[in-house]
Each structure stands twice: as structure tokens, then as C-alpha cells.
Amino acid sequence: MYKHLLGWLAALMFCPSCSDNSPNIFVVCEEDSRVGRGNCIIKWETTPVIEGKVKIYASTDPDKIPEKDPILIADISDQLATIVISDPTQRYYYKMVFNNRYRVVTASRNSVISGIQNFRDIGGYVAAKGKQVRWGMLYRSAQIESLSYSTFKELKNIGIKMIIDLRTAEEVVKKPHLEEQGFNVVRIPIGTVNTDNVMQKCRNGQIKNDSIYRLMLRINREMVIYCRAEYKEMFDALEKKDNYPALILCTTGIDRTAIASAMILSALGVNEETIMSDYLRSNDFFDIPQASGDGYRLPVGAQEAITTLFSAREGFLNAAKNQIEKNYGNVSTYLDKGLGLTDENIQELRSILLR
């Protein structure tokens, strides 16, 4: 899960100014349950290398992190800090101040919440006009089923108001009564592969790995063309500021939610490389053995097919992008002509989600 901590792919890059004398600062922050639930490891790198001190301040509000009483002071040359918090049910955001001059706001992208797979924040990315996607506003995850009281409490602690559920009625088998927990649940069913049926066919040897791969390519191509009205409905819900913080989910968080996240980030002006990197992070945050049950006790061929079914592959997201480009020329035109998002719609979304 933590292999991406070793590199700077999809890291937050902060450029204080356009001056050649100002450093670029790269930051990675991830929750690390190895040092205790809710605690984080923050890594940073500056280009060029600068000496001095970095002060780290914490708050449960990403927009209000007062520079008073830092929780940690380190040498910039350390390039790493472990943050230990007192209340693991709260989500914390961190302001890093380098040499009392350069400031970066960051947070753990993943949050290990009991009972929820693939849960993560899509904030922090560099977007249009050098702005940043706001932390703590929009999350994505796999399905939420039969959650404990403590898990609901964690979702409420981070402020979740609206849940956009992209699952079909057939998939919502164990209804968790999210409405009764005070959430505004917007159900926008988008049909896709029935994972239970496919899993059974994998077990029986009826479906092979290459068949699964081709199936996922076809589904992603069809989704962006035949589910335009559903994704437009999602954007309509996201244009209402009172609906935030919001969570978007489907069964695995890898297919319909992945397309949704890519569309949203594209509308916000996030570049293609970052969008792909965010998509591939599902491979770090989705536990395939847990989802597949006895899948890894099956013959090798069935295991490979199941792994493909529950994996994020570059080819899958590219299939959707290539179909959009084939039909509309580019993603921007697709958002306009395909989904019907006007410039005013895009600007309203950006006013909410960018800072």
C-alpha cells in the first residue's frame, strides 16, 4: 500500500512564485496504520535543495489551519516526518511552513475507515490556473454496506453530507439505511458488469483473463457514451455548495466512480497524467483478496481473471478517453456537447472545489 511513498508520482507540487530563486516543493502525505490508526507519514523534497526548518501545523478544518503551536518542527533536510495524532476518529490537515516563508497544505489522501474499501480524498491536486483542488471536499470509495456506528461517526466527523451512489438497485442488496444516518443520498444507477456473476464464471472456468480485459475495455467505452445523462445528473448535484463534503461510490470504486472522478478532475483542469495516477491508486487501496473471498484458492487462470476484474489498468481508463476523443475530439468538448456542461457550470464547480 505504501510503495508510492517511495516516489513522487501524483505528489503535491507547490511553486511559491515564478521567481528562479523560489524552490519547487513536492509533498506526499499518507495515512500509515503501521504506526497507529489515523497517523501519517509526510515526505517532502525541494528543488533546488534548501536548508532550514519546516514547521507543521494541524487542524481538522483544511481552510483554517492557524500558524500557532506547531505539532512538529524538523530540519528540511530530514525530508520525512511521522505525525502521531491523539484522536484517530478525526481527519487532520497539515500546513507546512518552510523557513517561515513557503507554505504547503496537505493531508493523507487515503483514510483507513473500517468497513469501507478504496476510500480516498481527491483534493490536493494542481488544477486550472495554478489553483489546487480543495482538500476535504470530495471523496471516492467502494460500496458502503452494514457499517458500524463508529464508522458512521467517522464519516460524520469528516463532514460528509451528500453520498452519490452509482450502483444499480440490484447491487444495493444490504441496504445500510444511509438516509436514516442523516446523509443526503443521491442515487444515480449506472449499469455495469455484475461482479458476482462474473466471479462465478471465473470460478467455473467459463471466463478467462483476456475475456475479462476485453469486457472492461468495452464497458468503459460504452459508459462514457450511453451514461451521459447519469453523469450530467452527478455534476448537477455537485454544483450545489450545500452538498459538500461529498462522497461518490460504486461497488468497487474502480469503474463507474473512476470515470466520474476522471471527469470531475478534468473539468477542474487537472492534467491527464495526474488523473491517470489518481485512477491507478485504486490498486493500492482496494483489497482484492477481501473482495474475492475464496478467489485466490482457485486455479491460476481464475485468479488472473479475478485480479483483472478488480484492478485499475491504464488501458481501461484510456479506453474511455479514446472513445470520448473518437466521438467528440477531446474531453473538454465532451463535457460541453456530450454532457451539456456550460462554461457557467464549469466555473461554478471550480468556485466550489478550487482554492
pLDDT at 85: 84
How would you classify the pairing of strands 24-31 and 40-47? antiparallel
Specify the pLDDT at position 182: 82
Is residue 324 domain-shared with residue 178, that is, in the same domain?
Answer: yes
Q: Are 281 and 7 in contact (CB under 8 A)?
A: no
CA distance 125 to 12: 6
> What letter does residue 34 receive in the DSSP assignment?
G
- Give pLDDT tens digits for 152-206: 888 888 899 999 999 988 888 766 667 777 889 999 999 876 666 766 776 676 6
From 72, 107, 142, the end of a domain falls on 107
Task: Name the helix (H) or strand (E) containing 201.
Answer: helix 195-203
Range of the domain at 291: 120-353
| Residue 295 pLDDT grade (very low, low, confident, very high; cuts 50, 70, 90) | low
Q: Using alpha carbons only, how large is the chain's radius of gyration in Å?
A: 21
Band of pLDDT at residue 31, cut at 50, 70 and 90: confident
254 and 315 assigned to the same domain: yes
Residue 326 forms part of a structural domain: yes
DSSP for 157-193, please give it. HTT--EEEE---TTT--S---TGGGT-EEEE------
Examine the pLDDT at 3 and tell me if it is beyond 90: no
pLDDT of residue 282: 95
User: According to the model, what pLDDT value does residue 174 have?
Assistant: 60
What does the pLDDT read at residue 18?
44
Strand order in the sheet with 12-14: 12-14, 24-31, 40-47, 80-83
One-letter identity of residue 112: V
Q: What is the pLDDT of residue 192?
A: 78
Residue 215 falls inside a structural domain: yes
pLDDT, mean of residues 9-15: 48
Q: Give the three cell numbers for residue 209.
A: 483473463
Give per-residue pLDDT as tens, 61-104: 999 999 999 999 999 999 999 998 888 778 899 999 999 999 99
More confident residue, 176 or 135: 135
- 130 and 45 fall within a common domain: no
Q: Choose one of 66, 82, 107: the last residue of a domain.
A: 107
Contact present, 320 and 262 (Cβ < 8 Å): yes
Residue 340 and residue 274 in one domain? yes
Helix (H, G, I), strand (E, B) or coil at 26: strand
Question: According to the model, what pLDDT value does residue 150 have?
Answer: 75
Provide the CATH number for the domain around residue 316.
3.90.190.10
For 19, phi then psi, to 5°, come to -70, 140
The answer to whether 169 touches 137, Cβ cutoff 8 Å, is no
Q: Are residues 71 and 186 in the same domain?
A: no
Same domain, 169 and 295: yes
Half-sphere exposure of 287 (CA within 13 A, CB side): 11
**48 & 196 share domain:** no
Phi then psi dihedrals of residue 61, to 5 deg: -115, 115
Does 248 map to a domain?
yes
* Virtual torsion, Cα 238, 63, 9, 88, nearest 10 deg: -100
Looking at the structure of the chain, the number of domains it has is: 2
Given a cut of 50, whether residue 6 has pLDDT beyond it is no
Q: Identify whether 112 is part of a domain.
A: no
Nearest to 274 by CA among 125, 106, 118, 129: 125
**Cα–Cα distances in Å, from 305 out to 55, 72, 221, 222, 259?**
48, 46, 20, 21, 21
Query: Is pLDDT larger for residue 134 or for residue 19?
Result: 134
Whether 135 is covered by a domain: the verdict is: yes
Would you say 43 and 19 are in contact if contact means Cβ atoms under 8 Å apart? no
Q: In the prediction, which pLDDT does 81 show?
A: 95
Give yes or no: residues 51 and 81 share one domain. yes
pLDDT digits (tens, 9 = 90+) for 236-294: 999 999 999 999 999 899 999 999 999 999 999 999 999 999 999 999 988 888 877 76
pLDDT digit string (tens) for 111-130?
Answer: 778 778 999 999 999 999 98
Amino acid type, 81? A
Q: Quick one: 183 and 55 in the same domain?
A: no
